[in-house]
Amino acid sequence: MRQISPAGIDLIIKFEGYHTKLPDGSCKAYLDRLAKPHVWTIGSGLTKGVHEGMILTREEHDLRFRQELASHERAVNRLVKVPIAQPHFDALVSFAYNCGNYALKRSTLLRKLNAKDYDGAEAQFARWNKAGGKVWRGLVRRRKEEAAIFAMGTMALFDDDAEDDPIGWVADAETMPQKVEESGQVTRTQVAAGAVAAAAPAGAAAMEATPPGTWEPFTTLAASMGAFASSSWQTVLAIASVCGALWLIGSIQSYRLSR
């Protein structure tokens, strides 16, 4: 299961703060009146099991903080159905920590993300800037930073060669029509060309053993077909066949002349 990074934790602490701090470093519960309904909160935005009058030492607070953070990590891991990079995850956990797992689950942000609309999901952060029906500067700043971190994730996901096309795009054949033959791979054209090279010496020997003018029609045909040899392996095979035929005819002609 993916976990939030130290940078992601720093982001949450930056905006959540540590309330209400007592002289010995512990913290005391307070009532968050902006939440609907109001909720008792302590330290860095902790709400689970918090009640009026609760006091936590710093060590107790930090342990509870990690436990609450884990619940949001599990939610993001469960709800996100597409590949994401670490900055994506950090931004989403910060969002869920602040707005709640249920808000993330029901959000257009998540719907767009799971539709692989990463840019559309990024734009949704800015909408979550209200508390108690009022726009708050702190929430505007938080959503802006979360969106910026989310954008870093998108850049990493698409630009990192190690990701090996995590989005699963399929190349359009019409945009990549050329066929690239890898070096070291023996192709059918190369095999046919080898056959031509092997037949050429025998054909030449047969031509030398026959009267002048015998081969003129064949050499003219071979020259014409040779002009197209580089464009088709079928043509190369045809030339090989012609050379073979030349050799056979030359052998027969030589045999007749020798009698």
The C-alpha atoms of residue 110 and residue 151 are separated, in whole angstroms, by 15
In tens, the pLDDT along 101-114 reads 999 999 999 999 99
The structure tokens 């940078």 sit at 7
- Which residue, 115, 146, 163, sits at the end of a domain? 163
Tell me, yes or no, whether 177 lies in a domain.
no
Torsion sign (Cα): 28, 31, 34, 39:
positive
The continuous run of DSSP H or E covering 121 comes out as helix 118-124
Residues 37 and 130 in one domain: yes
Catalytic residue from among 16, 73, 122, 146: 16
Task: Map residue 78 onto helix, strand or coil.
Answer: helix
Mean pLDDT for the stretch of residues 234-253: 63
Task: Give, to the nearest 10 degrees, the angle between helix 86-99 and helix 58-79.
Answer: 110
pLDDT digits (tens, 9 = 90+) for 125-162: 999 999 988 999 999 999 999 999 999 999 999 886 55
User: What pTM was computed for the model?
Assistant: 0.62
Tell me the CATH number at 36: 1.10.530.40
On whether both 154 and 208 belong to a single domain, the answer is: no
Residue 16 bears catalytic tag: yes
Closest CA to 7 of 104, 85, 74: 85
Structural domain harbouring 252: 188-258
